[in-house]
């Protein structure tokens, strides 16, 4: 009798699971696509592919030795011709509305945060799935309550232009340190090398300049193969970020979000344990740090936020800033080799303020000197435009039934701002696939040529750092880091990039990219 009851129960459970899978994996994405096919200003891919959805295009790019988001540039050309405002797509099994046109983005911002705000669903987005373990409760991942916006305002104040400029010596110190290592190795995989260096810089800024002296030298990391390694906190965090990115993109995580919440089996359990270790170590650091100028110290002195809130925001900044900036610096070094005339022009500008090979870089590379380097600033802007570190924004959620560009959007719908496509929109940018820093200089011939061709970019044409009240709070610090590292590396080392990488016009280095070029450094 008992066996019969158990068997019947398992049968019901299996049937329920099958019904759930059919609805979640097949019907829901299919129905979403069908609904928006009738709108002329909404792009829907011509073919429905179960389970993968529009991720299939990413896979095609990878198979063709292109960065996974390269097809978005070609798609933007098609959508521009058709005056597309929105894109209805399925990311795996998740239905999402992409914000394409300037008009659509403006309407979304006008309705934020009352009708449209950060998605309050922890398992919907690739990035949010990763943040769930890394920085749960961070303000970037939370709806715009008064408390959330207070935390954001406090963070922006700490990272204001007058405060971040003092970090130039710290950035230079670590750039010199990493350059010695790169020269010693000779052949360097640049992205992880730079990410580790940026981790160290950010931990100094966020936790205190004495962070390495306040904890044990190494900590036990649980590896994917079941072994353990003793890693210092910078390497620990860099490794954890990579493992969390892999977990967030795991098909089982997408299909069964409960695995990411319960943490009962690996890799979810293992990553959860590593995340707990990080928070414990950071709590020990901030409890012992004597640096009153650190991010932690400045925010905690306000006496407005809990320790857990500040820690979550701190981990968020550390995660986002190191990965995105390392990708962008990789792009800059790559494009300066691919377009030698740009490198030559930049070297001449740096020479005017005595930033030259063999110079006393600590006195030459200062915040004031960098402020005079307009072309350097435009090189950074162009790298962030042509190959943004993220292909789309974090996800937003519709909290009331609404319309965007005449298209009805139901409560509960997930939205995201498209980044790669608009950044390379031929309607706004002349020769968008060419690395041309002068497109950002109103006095340049290229800018005037763009105007004559009717290519006038506006604020909504540049989406790398986002828009509105939820724009990236670390934009100023990221830009400063990129300027310092670019000026330093360009004048203190010679490097070469593999010929096959330079000849690949479909390469890219944003988060999730499989391209990680090696530099031959001397």
From the annotation, which residues make up the binding site?
472
Residue 510, classed as helix, strand or coil, is: coil
Other beta carbons within 10 Å of 440: 20
> Which neighbouring-strand residues pair with 91?
53, 94
Strands 42-44 and 86-91: parallel
Q: Which helix (H) or strand (E) holds 147?
A: helix 146-158
Tell the burial category of 330 from Cβ atoms under 10 Å away from its Cβ (0-12, 13-18, 19+): buried
- Token pair, residue 380, equals 């950074």
The long-range contacts involving 1-4, CB below 8 angstroms and separated by at least 24 positions, are: none
HEC assignment per residue over 14-36: HHHHHHHHHHHHHHHHHHHHHHH
Cα(123)–Cα(101) distance, integer angstroms: 27
Rounded distance between C-alpha atoms, residue 91 and residue 59, angstroms? 12
Element (H, E) at 403: strand 402-404
* Cross-strand bridge partners of residue 229: 221
Phi and psi, residue 233, nearest 5° = -60, -35
**Cα angle: 57, vertex 61, 64; to 5 degrees:** 135
CA distances to 266, 322, 516 from 223, rounded to whole Å, are 11, 21, 22
The annotation places the binding site for heme at 472
């Amino acid at each position: 009798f008992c066996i019969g009851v158990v068997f019947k129960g398992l049968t019901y459970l299996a049937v329920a699971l099958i019904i759930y899978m059919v609805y979640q994996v097949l019907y829901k994405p299919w129905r979403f696509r069908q609904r928006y096919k009738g709108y002329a200003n909404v792009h829907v891919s011509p073919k429905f592919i179960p389970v993968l959805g529009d991720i299939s295009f990413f896979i095609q790019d990878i198979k063709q030795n292109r960065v996974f988001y390269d097809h978005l540039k070609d798609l933007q050309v098609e959508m521009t011709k058709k005056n597309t405002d929105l894109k209805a797509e399925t990311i795996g099994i998740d239905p999402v509305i992409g914000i394409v046109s300037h008009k659509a983005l403006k309407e979304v911002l006008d309705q934020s945060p009352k009708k449209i705000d950060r998605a309050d669903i922890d398992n919907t987005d690739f990035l949010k799935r990763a943040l769930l373990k890394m920085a749960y409760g961070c303000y970037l991942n939370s709806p715009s309550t008064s408390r959330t916006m207070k935390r954001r305002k406090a963070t922006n104040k700490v990272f204001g232009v007058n405060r971040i400029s003092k970090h130039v010596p710290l950035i230079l110190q670590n750039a010199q340190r990493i350059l010695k290592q790169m020269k010693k190795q000779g052949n360097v995989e640049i992205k992880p090398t730079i990410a580790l260096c940026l981790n160290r810089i950010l931990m100094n800024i966020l936790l205190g300049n004495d962070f390495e002296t306040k904890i044990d030298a190494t900590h036990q990391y649980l590896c994917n193969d079941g072994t353990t390694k003793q890693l210092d906190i910078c390497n620990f965090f860099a490794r954890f970020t990579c493992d969390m990115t892999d977990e967030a993109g795991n098909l089982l995580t997408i299909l069964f979000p409960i695995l990411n919440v319960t943490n009962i089996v690996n890799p979810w359990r293992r990553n959860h344990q590593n995340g707990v270790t990080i928070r414990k170590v950071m709590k020990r650091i901030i409890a012992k740090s004597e640096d009153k100028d650190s991010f932690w110290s400045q925010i905690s002195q306000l006496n407005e936020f809990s320790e857990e809130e500040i820690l979550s925001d701190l981990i968020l900044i550390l995660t986002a800033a190191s990965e995105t900036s390392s990708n962008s610096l990789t792009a800059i070094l790559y494009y300066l080799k691919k377009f030698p005339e740009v490198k030559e022009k930049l070297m001449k500008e740096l020479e005017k303020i005595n930033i030259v090979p063999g110079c006393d870089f600590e006195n030459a590379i200062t915040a004031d000197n960098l402020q005079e380097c307009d072309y350097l600033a435009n090189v950074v802007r162009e790298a962030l435009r042509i190959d943004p570190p993220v292909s789309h924004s974090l996800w937003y959620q519709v909290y009331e039934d609404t319309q965007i560009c005449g298209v009805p959007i139901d409560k509960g719908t997930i939205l995201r701002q498209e980044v790669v496509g608009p950044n390379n929109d031929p309607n706004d940018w002349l020769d968008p696939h060419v690395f041309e820093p002068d497109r950002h200089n109103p006095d340049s011939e290229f800018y005037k040529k763009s105007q004559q061709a009717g290519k006038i970019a506006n604020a909504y044409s540049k989406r790398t750092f986002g828009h509105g009240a939820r724009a990236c709070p670390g934009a100023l610090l990221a830009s400063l880091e990129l300027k310092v590292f670019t000026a330093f590396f360009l004048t203190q080392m010679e490097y070469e990039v593999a010929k096959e990488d330079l000849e690949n016009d479909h390469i890219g280095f944003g988060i999730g990219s499989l391209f990680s070029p090696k530099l031959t450094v001397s």
